[in-house]
């Protein structure tokens, strides 16, 4: 046990760098996937319902009548399931600006990942990466308030649905909630960079 404690204590900085690498992997991978149709389609409910991003979509506020005669958000009628291509839906997303926005968002996410990783060697740049990671996580977590799809819906059935709505997270909601970890990680690496910057500044003054 003493050896384990000694190992963990001596590698504190290495583990902070591991957080940087982890954030880079997540950002680069997910950001890169934003260049592909299925991922761009998948983020539409989040963006369309977000007060921070919905203006990027042309049809964010459009509504249509579904097969059951209910008025619903237009994007719900043009969702492509992952692994399925529907030409009419893709045309709607092209008109909506879905793919152009996704390309831009993906580029931004990859850049944040790179800037965060550079904090291993460049603390001033890493400080920016940590703060951007924190800020992006705040926006992502806001989807828990703005996006209906993050909670299990009541779709009915041959018996009552016992668990739906808040706090019963859907698959999308569980994915969003994980950004609590990203938010904390961003603060940790930003704090570490600030400490290193301060240390260099103090040395220069002495």
pLDDT surpassing 80 at residue 23: yes
The pLDDT assigned to 30 comes to 97
Range of the domain at 127: 17-43+95-153+165-205
pLDDT above 80 (res 206): no
Question: Has residue 129 got a pLDDT over 90?
Answer: yes
pLDDT at 201 over 90: no
In a domain, 33, yes or no: yes
Distances (CA, A) of 84 to 38, 73, 87, 167: 8, 21, 10, 30
**CA-CA distance, 8 to 14, in Å (whole number)?**
10
69: DSSP letter: S
Residue 81: CB atoms within 10 A of its CB come to: 11
The model carries a pTM of 0.93
User: Where does the pLDDT of residue 164 fall: very low under 50, low under 70, confident under 90, or very high at 90 and above?
Assistant: very high
Is 144 within the bounds of a domain? yes
Integer angstrom CA distances of residue 62 from 67, 77, 96, 202: 17, 11, 10, 57
* Bridge partners of residue 72, in order along the sequence: 64
Instruction: Report, as an integer, the average pLDDT of 170-196.
Output: 97
Tell me the average pLDDT across 189-201: 95
pLDDT at 26: 97
At residue 161, the pLDDT reads 87
pLDDT exceeds cutoff 90 at 59 = yes
pLDDT for the residue numbered 203: 80
Domains: count for the chain: 1
What per-residue confidence (pLDDT) applies to 67?
Answer: 87
74 domain-assigned: no
Domain assignment present for residue 7? The answer is no
Please indicate, yes or no, if residue 181 is contained in any of the structural domains. yes
The answer to the question of residue 183 being in a domain is: yes
For 172, the token pair is 């999308």
CA distances from 196 to 18, 71, 182, 184 (A): 17, 55, 21, 19
């Amino acid at each position: 046990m003493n050896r384990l404690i000694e190992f963990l204590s001596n590698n504190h900085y290495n583990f902070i760098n591991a957080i940087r690498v982890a954030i880079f992997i997540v950002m680069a991978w997910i950001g890169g996937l934003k260049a592909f149709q299925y991922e761009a389609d998948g983020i539409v409910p989040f963006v369309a319902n977000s007060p921070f991003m919905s203006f990027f979509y042309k049809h964010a506020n459009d509504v249509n009548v579904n097969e059951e005669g209910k008025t619903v958000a237009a994007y719900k009628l043009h969702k492509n399931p992952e692994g399925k291509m529907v030409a009419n839906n893709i045309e709607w997303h092209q008109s909506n600006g879905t793919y152009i926005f996704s390309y831009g968002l993906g580029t931004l996410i990859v850049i944040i990942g790179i800037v965060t990783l550079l904090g291993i060697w460049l603390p001033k740049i890493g400080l920016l990466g940590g703060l951007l990671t924190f800020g992006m996580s705040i926006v992502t977590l806001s989807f828990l308030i703005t996006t209906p799809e993050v909670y299990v819906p009541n779709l009915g059935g041959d018996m009552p649905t016992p668990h739906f709505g808040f706090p019963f997270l859907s698959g999308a909601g569980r994915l969003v909630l994980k950004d609590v970890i990203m938010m904390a990680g961003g603060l940790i690496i930003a704090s570490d960079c600030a400490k290193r910057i301060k240390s260099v500044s103090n040395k220069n003054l002495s």
